Structure 1
Amino acid sequence: MVTTVVFDFDGTLANTNQLIINSFKHIYSVFCNNDCDEEYIMSTFGEPLDTTLNRDFDKFNFEDVISCYREYQVDRFNDEVYLYDTVIETLEHLKNKGIKMGIVTSRVRKSTLDAIKNFNIEQYFDVIVAADDVEKHKPNKEPLIRAIDELNSTTKETLYVGDSKFDMECAINAEITPVLVGWQKKSQVLAEEYKVKYVLDKMWDLIELI
């Protein structure tokens, strides 16, 4: 019996893809004076931003790079980011059914709280575990296990809904049932690679699993 659903945020609840890609294009042009590889950037989705920037911009001052990245997004988030189809309806239905819900994300806490407040969905979530709340990040199981513990749930009664390889590996490592959203470019490839049983065409399909 499913009593708990934990969600990733970026690419799962909200479409932040283009904003992230544009943000990376911006910092690549500022610091490297060249274009970035969109396929590569998309492959890092689900990885903490600090990890990506420390690896790819190690020749530059980290604070300068991340400040440039975030400043680019400040005035663009509200215009370029939106919730995926049927997300609010699904969250409302699950809440009314007494399903416990949380978010496990590679975003930092402040950014996550700002985002869910902006979309007026903070009331649906009983716990949020962000990148700066844990020592080990996805695909390590730590953030997901922490969320389950705080929700007083068990791995057997929990679904983890995500869009990236980091999400699928995190769920598998935590011995939790992974649910893959099917609206990303490589969703079918990920479903086959990780043998994911449940793939959603839209968020409302989650209701049929519970």
Structure 2
Amino acid sequence: MKAIIFDFDGTLANTLPICYVAFQSVFKEFDNKDLSSEDIRSMFGPSETGIIIENLKNTNKENAIELYYEKYLEYHEQLVKPNNDITEMIGYLKEKDIKTGIVTGKARRSLDISLKALHMDNLFEIIITGDDVIHPKPHPEGVVKALSLLEVERNDSMFIGESDADIEAGLKANVTTAGVKWLPDYQPSEFSVKPNYIFDRVTDLKRHLEKGVHSEL
């Protein structure tokens, strides 16, 4: 394996709680709507700005987007905590000269906030955000673009994520896929789209790379 590309939300950081708070603030302030976590999650796919543009009834989209980022920054330290296992795992990949990247539907602005707050802003060779693609996941555009920038072949690469959209994007890009259940709030009981592997713990990835001991589906 020469490159491992990760989704971000739910894969490298447990950011779902802060996304809920920020979106709930926006829709309450501008549309006077109280949205549940399920309501918000059903909108996921586009970047945060895309979600607001597509779903907010109020025409003042620009100020709504600014409020989203204000709340995202305001509550980040309180709601999103660093994960030592993930930091150590990225360090292990670097020791093994395995290239790393991120392909996420998040907008660049919120991703930068999270990476800086979690001290992860210098850990990845390439980053593809929702702002960098025309077609969001499950379209493979982001993964294919990452492979090109990393200059690696598809059969030497793995894409790791926690959602069906991640797995579908990886499969369409013809890379090995791994579905993860290693962070709270992002644990589907089953993947509708079957990944090549499932990792329940962060250490499972290291074990897979070192010994090839894994559960292939």
TM-score, length-scaled by structure 1: 0.89
Aligned equivalents of 1:146 and 1:17: distance in 2? 26
User: Does the 8 A contact of 2:100 with 2:126 survive in 1?
Assistant: yes
Query: 1:131 matched to which residue of 2?
Result: 130
Letter matched to residue 177 of structure 2: P
- Structure-2 separation of matches of 1:59 and 1:37: 19
Q: Contact conserved, 1:148 with 1:154, CA < 8 A, in 2?
A: yes
The residue type equivalent to 1:188 in the other structure is S
- 1:127–1:147 Cα contact (<8 Å) kept: yes
Q: Contact 2:162/2:186 (CA < 8 Å) preserved in 1?
A: no
Quick one: percent identity of the two aligned structures?
A: 29
The corresponding residue for 1:188 is 189
Does structure 2 retain, via aligned residues, the 8 Å contact 1:159–1:177? yes
Please give the per-residue CA displacement for 1:136-183, whole angstroms capped at 9, x wherever unaligned: 222211111111111111111111111122212211221122211114
Q: Tell me by how many angstroms 1:131 deviates.
A: 1.6
Look up the match of 2:119: 120
Quick check: 2:167–2:194 contact (8 Å CA) kept in 1?
Answer: no
| Contact 2:161-2:167 within 8 A present in 1 as well | yes
Structure 1 stretches of at least 4 aligned residues deviating more than 6 Å after TM superposition: none
Task: Report the TM-score when normalising by structure 2.
Answer: 0.87
* Distance in 2 of aligned mates of 1:35 and 1:113: 28
Does the 8 Å CA contact 1:5/1:159 hold for their aligned counterparts? Answer: yes
Uncovered stretches (5+) of structure 1, i.e. residues with no partner: none
**How far did residue 186 of structure 1 move?**
4.6
1:41-190 alignment runs, 5 A limit: 41-84=40-83, 86-182=85-181, 183=183, 184-189=185-190
Backbone CA RMSD of aligned residues: 1.9
CA distance in 2, matches of 1:43, 1:85: 30
Displacement, 1:58? 4.1
- Contact 2:73–2:113 (Cα < 8 Å) also in 1: no
Residue aligned with 1:188, SS: coil
Which residue of 1 is the match for residue 212 of structure 2? Answer: none
SS in 1 for 2:178: strand
* Structure 2 spans left out of the alignment, 5+ residues: 210-217
In structure 2, the partner of 1:18 is 17
* Post-superposition CA distance 1:187-209 (Å, at most 9, x none): 223x2x11223222222211122
CA–CA distance in structure 2, aligned partners of residues 179 and 10 of structure 1: 15
Q: Is the CA contact (8 Å cut-off) linking 2:69 and 2:110 kept in structure 1?
A: no
Distance in 2 (alpha carbons) for counterparts of 1:27 and 1:72: 9
Counterpart secondary structure, 2:158: strand
Q: What's the CA shift string for 1:49-103, capped at 9, x where partnerless?
A: 1222122114422212111211122221122112345101111111101111011
1:103 counterpart SS class = strand
Distance 1:3 1:198 in 2: 17
| Superposed displacement of residue 185, structure 1 | 4.7
